[in-house]
């Protein structure tokens, strides 16, 4: 790892910084993975100084980790790296304060945990203030744009100041250990890889269900919706990891080239197919974890009489290539659902001819890849019932590999820890290329456009359920059903 890094976090007092970025950096330091010479600048517009920032962060981290997991010696070491710089991001001249802090001969990494509207001005002001050297890196949080056109504008504005090889676009799902494990599962296991195509697989399901609602973000979320918030990035990235061809190597360019091929091969959902292939929903009041919760329209910050913004999406798509032709990929994601679960379920085809009389349709082999929580892999297999009463009765059994139990680690690292390490190393394999972002927006724009042209509204679903009944119908009409976690 580069020992001469100056890490600059823009938006250092924001929610993401407090919840994810600083806790991740503290954990890296604690684990001895942050080189002693790494310096960290926290940049925001509030009028505070370094000691006040350190005090604030101390309280935040103590609260986040709790007394048992908060290590005072690690914190002291970590806090010595921190420096607060007050900058109003819209004021070009104020970037000179950052220029004064940077040291020659060190690699600067700018992490933009800011609203996306700031990506372009911050890049320009950094450049104008002389803060951008040939090796300076910039890290962009999602969302990058609102559609293809706006994402191209953002990408082009940042590209005016940073080379593509120095732009790190975050999709935090790629930082999750379990998502990276999809590569190991597929490409390090001959047994799995040799059965990974349309001759063996019946269909694929990808679910990312959340229990949380809008979390005080109504104003923002209502302009975005679940398709842009989750499908455009996280679910399509998962789909790429499941469906891509083996890359030539684990080099970033090789992996990203394979992913973009999948995104370009995604069959568009158009005006003609949208009613059959996609459902959008919006939660109404209900019960979550035994407590009553309000509906989307009654959430704090709701400003309108009605809204057609979806908090749930279920869809069926295909990948138009040699390996996957004819295999449906069902994607499902929503807020305020029954439980938090992110998983990929691969259902295998049945044998062409059955010799077991009592074998029912529910007895296919299934590979369930649990990304969170209870990270692990389950393989549903059919085995003989241990019984003298039946000649050859069958039953479904599960092989269960629990990552947490078997890893020997006391915790699974947060995605942001891994992502920081990679950006400091200068490796883009877990970051999204411009081509991927644009291919993904192109596909999402077609779907959004089809929904709007068809005038298809959101279907209500009770908070705490698995989504609108239409979502069940979407898969059941194909004689399949959603996997129940
Ligand atoms: C974010 C979305 O990118 O991912 C949030 O903006 C969502 O709306 C979150 O809640 C989910 O992340 P995770 O890691 O909890 O699955």
Report the nearest atom of ligand 1 relative to the CA of 221.
8
3-state helix, strand, coil in the chain (%, to 5): 40, 20, 40
CB 204 within 8 A of CB 323: no
pLDDT cut 70: percent of the chain above it? 97
412-451 per-position pLDDT tens digit: 889 999 999 999 999 999 999 999 999 999 999 999 999 9
Q: Report the distance separating Cα 417 and Cα 421, nearest Å.
A: 6
Atom of ligand 1 nearest to the CA of 229: 6
The Cα 440–Cα 420 span in angstroms is 24
Which range (102-106, 162-166, 309-313, 351-355) has the least confidence?
Answer: 351-355
Decide if pLDDT at 89 tops 90: yes
Residue 310's closest CA among 204, 115, 447? 447
| CA–CA distance, 185 with 191 (Å, rounded to integer) | 10
CB-based contact 24:57 (threshold 8 Å): no
Helix axes 252-265, 236-243, angle to 10 degrees: 110
Distance 93 CA to ligand 1 centre (A): 35
Q: How many A from CA of 65 to the centre of ligand 1? A: 20
Under 8 Å between Cβ of 237 and 363: no
- For residues 375 and 185, what is the distance between their CA atoms, to the nearest angstrom? 13
Encoded tokens for 477: 């009409």
Tell me, rounded to whole angstroms, the distance of Cα 38 from its chain centroid: 27
Ligand 1, atom 13: closest residue by C-alpha:
173
Please give the angle made by the CA atoms of 448, 174 and 42, to the nearest 5 degrees: 100
Pocket test for ligand 1, best of 143, 234, 415, 440 (most atoms within 8 A of CB): 234
Closest residue CA from atom 2 of ligand 1: 229
pLDDT at position 408 is 61
- Residues 364, 365, 367, CA angle at the centre, nearest 5°? 135
By alpha-carbon position, which residue is closest to atom 15 of ligand 1? 210
Structure confidence at residue 242 (pLDDT): 98
For 453-470, the pLDDT digits (tens) are: 999 999 999 999 999 999
Residue 333 Cα, ligand 1 centroid: separation in angstroms?
Answer: 11
b/e string for 178-212 if b means 16 or more Cβ within 10 A? bbbbbbebbeeeeebeeebeeeebbbbbbbbbbbe
Query: Ligand 1 pocket test: which of 172, 233, 332, 341 has the largest number of ligand atoms within 8 Å of its C-beta?
Result: 172
Radius of gyration of the chain (CA): 24
User: Per-residue pLDDT for 3 more than 60?
Assistant: no
In the numeric block, the tokens 């100084």 are attached to 49
Contacts of 439 (CB under 8 A, 6+ apart): 260, 263, 264
Least reliable range by pLDDT among 60-74, 134-148, 319-333? 60-74
Q: What is the pLDDT of residue 98?
A: 97
Mean pLDDT over residues 349-357, rounded?
A: 84
Contacts from 150-159 at CB under 8 Å and sequence distance 24+?
A: 151/437, 151/438, 151/441, 152/438, 153/120, 154/116, 154/119, 154/120, 155/434, 155/437, 155/438, 157/119, 157/120, 157/123, 157/124, 158/119, 158/120, 158/123, 159/434
Give mean pLDDT, residues 348-360. Answer: 80
d(CA 255, CA 427): 12
Q: Which pTM was predicted?
A: 0.95
**CA distance readout (Å), 373 to 54, 178, 411:** 32, 10, 12
More confident of the two residues 350 and 269: 269
Supply the pLDDT for residue 355: 85
What is the mean pLDDT of the segment spanning 185-196?
A: 94
Is residue 400 a contact partner of residue 378, using CB atoms and an 8 Å limit?
yes
Q: Is the distance from CB of 426 to CB of 255 less than 8 angstroms?
A: no
Residue 327 has pLDDT above 60, yes or no: yes
Closest atom of ligand 1 to 217 CA is 8
pLDDT value for 360? 58
> Which residue owns the Cα nearest ligand 1 atom 4?
230
**In the structure, what pLDDT confidence band is assigned to residue 403 with cuts at 50, 70 and 90?**
confident
**pLDDT per position as a tens digit, 271-297:** 999 999 999 999 999 999 899 999 999
And the tokens for 130? 């002389």
Burial letters for 44-58: b for 16+ Cβ neighbours within 10 Å, e otherwise? Answer: beeeeeeeebbebbb
Q: What pLDDT score was predicted for residue 135?
A: 95
What is the C-alpha to C-alpha distance for residues 262 and 241, in angstroms, rounded to an integer? 9
Is the predicted pLDDT of residue 1 greater than 50, yes or no? Answer: no
CA of 171 relative to ligand 1 center, distance in Å: 10
pLDDT band at 393; cut points 50, 70, 90? confident
Pocket of ligand 1 (CB under 6 A): 210, 212, 229, 342
Which residues are the active-site residues? 234
pLDDT of residue 131: 97
**Best probe residue, ligand 1, of 16, 176, 210 (max atoms within 8 Å of C-beta):** 210
User: If pLDDT is split at 50, 70 and 90, which confidence band does 2 have?
Assistant: very low
Smallest CA separation from ligand 1 atom 14, residue: 173
7-15 average pLDDT score = 96
Q: What is the pLDDT of residue 359?
A: 60
Give the rounded percent of residues in the chain with a pLDDT score beyond 90: 84
Nearest alpha carbon, ligand 1 atom 8: 229
* Closest listed residue to residue 111, CA positions, set 97, 96, 122, 125: 122
Task: Give the mean pLDDT of the chain.
Answer: 94
Contact 338, 371 (CB under 8 A): no
């Amino acid at each position: 790892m580069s020992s001469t890094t100056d890490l600059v976090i823009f938006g250092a007092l924001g929610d993401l910084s407090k919840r994810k970025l600083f806790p991740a950096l503290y954990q890296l330091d604690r684990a001895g993975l942050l080189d002693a010479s790494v310096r960290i600048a926290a940049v925001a517009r509030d009028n505070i100084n370094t000691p006040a920032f350190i005090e604030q962060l101390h309280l935040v981290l103590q609260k986040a980790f709790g007394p048992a997991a908060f290590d005072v010696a690690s914190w002291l070491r970590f806090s010595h790296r921190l420096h607060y710089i007050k900058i109003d991001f819209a004021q070009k001249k104020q970037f000179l304060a950052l220029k004064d802090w940077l040291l020659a001969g060190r690699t600067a990494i700018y992490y933009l945990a800011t609203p996306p509207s700031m990506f372009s001005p911050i890049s320009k002001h950094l450049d104008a203030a002389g803060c951008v050297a040939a090796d300076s890196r910039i890290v962009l949080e999602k969302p990058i744009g609102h559609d293809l056109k706006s994402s191209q504008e953002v990408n082009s504005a940042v590209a005016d100041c940073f080379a593509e090889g120095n732009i790190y676009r975050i999709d935090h799902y790629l930082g999750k250990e379990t998502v990276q494990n999809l590569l190991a599962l597929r490409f390090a296991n001959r047994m799995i890889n040799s059965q990974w195509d349309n001759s063996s697989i019946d269909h694929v399901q990808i679910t990312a269900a959340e229990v949380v609602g809008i979390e005080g973000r109504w104003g923002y979320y209502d302009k975005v919706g679940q398709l842009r918030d989750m499908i455009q990035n996280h679910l399509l990235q998962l789909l790429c990891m499941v469906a891509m061809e083996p890359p030539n190597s684990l080099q970033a360019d090789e992996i990203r080239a394979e992913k973009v091929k999948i995104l370009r091969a995604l069959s568009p959902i158009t005006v003609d197919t949208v009613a059959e292939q996609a459902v959008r929903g919006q939660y109404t009041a209900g019960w979550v974890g035994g407590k009553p919760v309000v509906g989307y329209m009654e959430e704090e910050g709701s400003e309108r009489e009605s809204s057609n913004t979806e908090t749930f999406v279920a869809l069926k798509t295909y990948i138009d290539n040699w390996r996957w032709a004819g295999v449906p990929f069902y994607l499902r994601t929503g807020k305020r659902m029954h439980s938090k679960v992110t998983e990929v379920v691969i259902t295998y085809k049945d044998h062409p001819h059955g010799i077991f009389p009592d074998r029912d349709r529910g007895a296919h082999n299934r590979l369930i890849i649990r990304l969170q929580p209870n990270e692990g892999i389950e393989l549903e297999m059919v085995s003989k019932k241990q019984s003298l009463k039946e000649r050859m009765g069958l039953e479904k059994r599960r092989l269960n590999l629990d990552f947490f139990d078997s890893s020997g680690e006391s915790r699974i690292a947060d995605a942001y820890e891994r992502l920081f390490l990679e950006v400091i190393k200068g490796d883009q394999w877990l970051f999204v290329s411009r081509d991927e972002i644009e291919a993904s927006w192109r596909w999402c724009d077609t779907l959004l456009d089809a929904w709007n042209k068809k005038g298809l509204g959101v279907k209500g679903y009770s908070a705490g359920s698995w989504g609108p009944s239409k979502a069940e119908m979407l898969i059941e009409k194909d004689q399949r059903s959603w996997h129940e976690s």
